[in-house]
Amino acid sequence: MLITEENWPYPTWIAHRGAGKLAPENTLAAFRLGAAHGYRMFECDVKLSADGVPFLLHDDTLTRTSNALLQWGADVSAVGGDHDWGTLSQLDAGSWHSRAFAGEPLPCFENIAHFCLHNGYGLNIEIKPTTGQARQTGTVVAQHAARLWRNASVPPLLSSFDPEALAAAHDTAPHLPRGLLLETLWKGWLETALSLECVAIICDHTLWETSSVTQAQSAGFRCLSYTVNDASKAQRLLDLGVEGFITDRVDLFAPASSQ
Ligand code: G3P
Ligand code: MG
């Protein structure tokens, strides 16, 4: 399926890191909870283990969202990308959040992909390289996404703040749609998105104003935003013509089944 601004198969509402803050971010438990709240598309952060396995983790380090420090002590590197997947897969990525999720494992990307594919859910794969690994991460994540979604009617949406990661994804799997993530409107953002043949600009919601929406839409991009957590902000964006919302508040916004 060719994804364009007109031919857009994704729902309006996307659950951030699975289910926002209601469950441990970037875990299968979060995806299940987001789905139970009616969400049919999810965003997650993907990086590489030391042996090249894509897995879900937001930060460079495991400290905030796993028991790595407790398990390994302070002398062992807390950088997720420094460890093989066999070691990472033993970590508890749920206890930090709450007792209800104790023992929830750190997921590999493949398992999350199977959950989405099996249930017909959309996935926004944020390529979140460990510092210094942009090209390698973009390449490997795109390879895996192309393989896993090879028979799917709707491809995953790849996104990144890092143009180098998106360029690598483009070179590896040009047919997979891409979105450029922005936390500022840095000089050259529009030209960069055009040169990477992106289909969407995904901005911090505060960056969308009439001028930026007009610029993006005139160049043929869909306008999406993160992280939209209250109704008045969502309404402001809707009024501007923003068409996609990544939210933590899966408990507040109830996506209609058609959205
Ligand atoms: O992909 C949208 C959003 O997830 C980007 O910010 O830091 O939550 O990954 P962050
Ligand atoms: Mg993210």
pLDDT for position 258? 46
When the pLDDT of each residue in the chain is averaged and rounded to a whole number, the result is 96
Residue nearest to atom 1 of ligand 1 (CA): 126
Q: Which tens digits make up the pLDDT trace of 185-220?
A: 999 999 999 999 999 999 999 999 999 999 999 999
Indicate the SS3 state at residue 201. strand
pLDDT for position 136? 98
Q: Which tens digits make up the pLDDT trace of 165-181?
A: 999 999 999 999 999 99
**Sequence letter at residue 178:** R
Residue 82 confidence (pLDDT) above 50: yes
C-alpha distances out from residue 19 to 24, 46, 142, 198, Å: 8, 16, 24, 26
Q: How far apart are CA 106 and CA 127, in angstroms?
A: 17
Q: How far apart are CA 217 and CA 43, in angstroms?
A: 22
pLDDT for position 188? 98
Domains of the chain by start residue, with CATH:
13-60+107-258 (3.20.20.190)
Residue nearest to atom 5 of ligand 1 (CA): 226
170 given a catalytic annotation = no
Within 6 A (CB) of ligand 1 lie: 16, 43, 45, 58, 126, 159, 181, 202, 226, 246
Closest ligand 1 atom number to CA of residue 126: 1
pLDDT for position 144? 98
pLDDT category of residue 88 using cuts at 50, 70 and 90? very high
